[in-house]
């Protein structure tokens, strides 16, 4: 029997060799910009949605901004200038309860109940045999030589995720900025994702979500460093007829923003395209970055955010 290489033309062998790489080419998604102008630095006025009924896997990264090495004074305080909303401290009727849901030598998972949280609901969260209900906030800490560091938060009642990298040695922490929505996007006064239940597996650092119609998603912490925090998202079934993810952020001006620029790569592009967040419209892309090109006086150290590696499985 002759070897297979003598039976198959060289060109065909080249195609066969390239087949695995071709299979890994990312899908293209429709990105729509629904952002609106604002004068309030605490408004989530930046709103990008991502849609493709075939996507079952993608990655999210919160990446340290380009200016991180030059930040002399970080600004993380809220700014309610020109805002109609006010930051109200908890009143005597508010009851906030802190619960340590899991802890070992490397991490800590903390949940909070708040009797007066504005969005009502009950999303049970399970860790091993333990189940807690009515949590409005969940925090994931990694244990570092400087102490526990919160690098991921989830609001179970509306499906908002926020993530940030580890801080450089000269900063105690870096700011949060852009929020990520993962799952079937709904809109009622504001965008949200409805979650039926959550299960956290400490060994793999994975959050398994069940949505109201029974579909599921797995969100794994895939990396954590000073450069970025990464999430790997896998849907049991692709999200049909609506966006499967969204980014919410804030923009007043380029120097007062959590994000001011959108960069993306479209099919057949040889390089990146980039526009101001308020000038970007909609289009097709397989890599999307939302961040800043100049230093901001608001959440100066907040990370940029990237969505990419959209795959059918």
Would strands 251-253 and 107-114 be described as parallel, antiparallel, or unpaired? unpaired
Q: How far apart are CA 183 and CA 236, in angstroms?
A: 11
Q: What is the pLDDT of residue 116?
A: 64
HSE at residue 52, side-chain half, CA atoms within 13 A, is 23
Task: Return the bridge partners of 251, or none.
Answer: 257
Task: Return the bridge partners of 307, or none.
Answer: 60, 288
Tell me which residue has tokens 């570092």: 144
Q: What angle do CA 79, 187, 86 make, to 5 degrees?
A: 20
Q: What is the pLDDT of residue 201?
A: 98
Q: Is 36 buried (19+), middle (13-18) or exposed (0-12) by CB count in 10 A? A: exposed
Higher confidence at residue 62 or residue 3?
Answer: 62
User: H or E segment at 222?
Assistant: strand 216-224
pLDDT grade for 86, boundaries at 50, 70 and 90: low
State pLDDT tens for residues 235-246.
999 999 999 999
> Burial code of 261-283, b = ≥16 C-beta within 10 A, e = fewer?
bbbbbeeeeeeeeeeebeebeeb
HSE at residue 195, side-chain half, CA atoms within 13 A, is 29
pLDDT grade for 29, boundaries at 50, 70 and 90: very high
State pLDDT tens for residues 286-308.
999 999 999 999 899 999 999 99
Q: How many CB atoms lie within 10 A of CB 55?
A: 22
Q: What angle do CA 171, 174, 175 make, to 5 degrees?
A: 145
Q: What angle do CA 159, 160, 164 make, to 5 degrees?
A: 140
The whole-number average pLDDT for the span 110-135 is: 86
pLDDT grade for 225, boundaries at 50, 70 and 90: very high
DSSP alpha helix (H) spans, the chain? 10-23
Q: How many CB atoms lie within 10 A of CB 231?
A: 23
CA 108 → CA 35, 152, 209, 287, distances in Å? 35, 11, 19, 32
pLDDT grade for 70, boundaries at 50, 70 and 90: confident
pLDDT at 115 exceeding the cut of 80:
no
Q: What is the pLDDT of residue 7?
A: 37
SS3 of residue 13 by DSSP: helix
Nearest-Å Rg of the Cα atoms of the chain is 21
pLDDT at 93 exceeding the cut of 80:
no
Q: How far apart are CA 69 and CA 272, in angstroms?
A: 24
Describe the strand order of the beta sheet including 147-155 as a list of residue ranges: 96-103, 107-114, 137-144, 147-155, 160-163, 179-182, 245-249, 46-51, 29-33, 282-285
Instruction: Report the Cα–Cα distance between both ends of the chain, in Å, rounded.
Output: 38
Q: What is the pLDDT of residue 3?
A: 42
Q: What is the pLDDT of residue 120?
A: 67
């Amino acid at each position: 029997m002759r070897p297979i290489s003598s039976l198959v033309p060289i060109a065909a062998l080249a195609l066969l060799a390239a087949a695995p790489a071709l299979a890994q080419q990312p899908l293209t998604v429709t990105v729509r910009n629904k952002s609106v102008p604002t004068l309030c630095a605490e408004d989530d006025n930046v709103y990008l949605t991502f849609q493709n009924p075939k996507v079952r896997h993608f990655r999210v990264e919160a990446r340290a901004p380009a200016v991180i090495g030059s930040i002399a004074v970080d600004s993380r305080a809220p700014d309610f200038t020109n805002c109609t909303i006010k930051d109200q401290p908890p009143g005597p009727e508010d009851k906030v309860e802190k619960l340590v849901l899991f802890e070992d030598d490397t991490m800590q998972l903390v949940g909070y109940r708040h009797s007066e949280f504005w969005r009502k609901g009950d999303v049970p969260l399970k860790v091993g045999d333990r189940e807690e209900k009515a949590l409005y906030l969940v925090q994931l800490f990694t244990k570092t030589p400087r102490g526990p560091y919160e690098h991921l938060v989830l609001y179970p009642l509306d499906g908002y995720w926020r993530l940030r990298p580890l801080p450089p040695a000269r900063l105690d922490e870096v700011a949060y900025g852009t929020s990520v929505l993962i799952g079937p996007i709904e809109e009622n006064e504001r965008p949200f994702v409805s979650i039926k239940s959550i299960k956290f597996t400490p060994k793999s650092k994975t959050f398994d979500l069940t949505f109201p119609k029974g579909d599921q998603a797995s969100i794994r912490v895939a990396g954590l460093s000073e450069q970025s925090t990464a999430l790997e998202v896998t849907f049991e079934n692709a999200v049909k007829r609506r966006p499967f993810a969204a980014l919410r952020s804030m923009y007043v001006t380029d120097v007062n923003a959590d994000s001011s620029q959108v960069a993306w790569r479209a099919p057949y592009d040889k390089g990146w395209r980039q526009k101001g967040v308020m000038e970007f419209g909609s289009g097709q892309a397989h890599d999307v970055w939302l961040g800043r090109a100049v230093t901001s006086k608001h959440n100066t150290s907040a990370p940029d955010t990237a969505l990419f590696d959209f795959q059918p499985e």
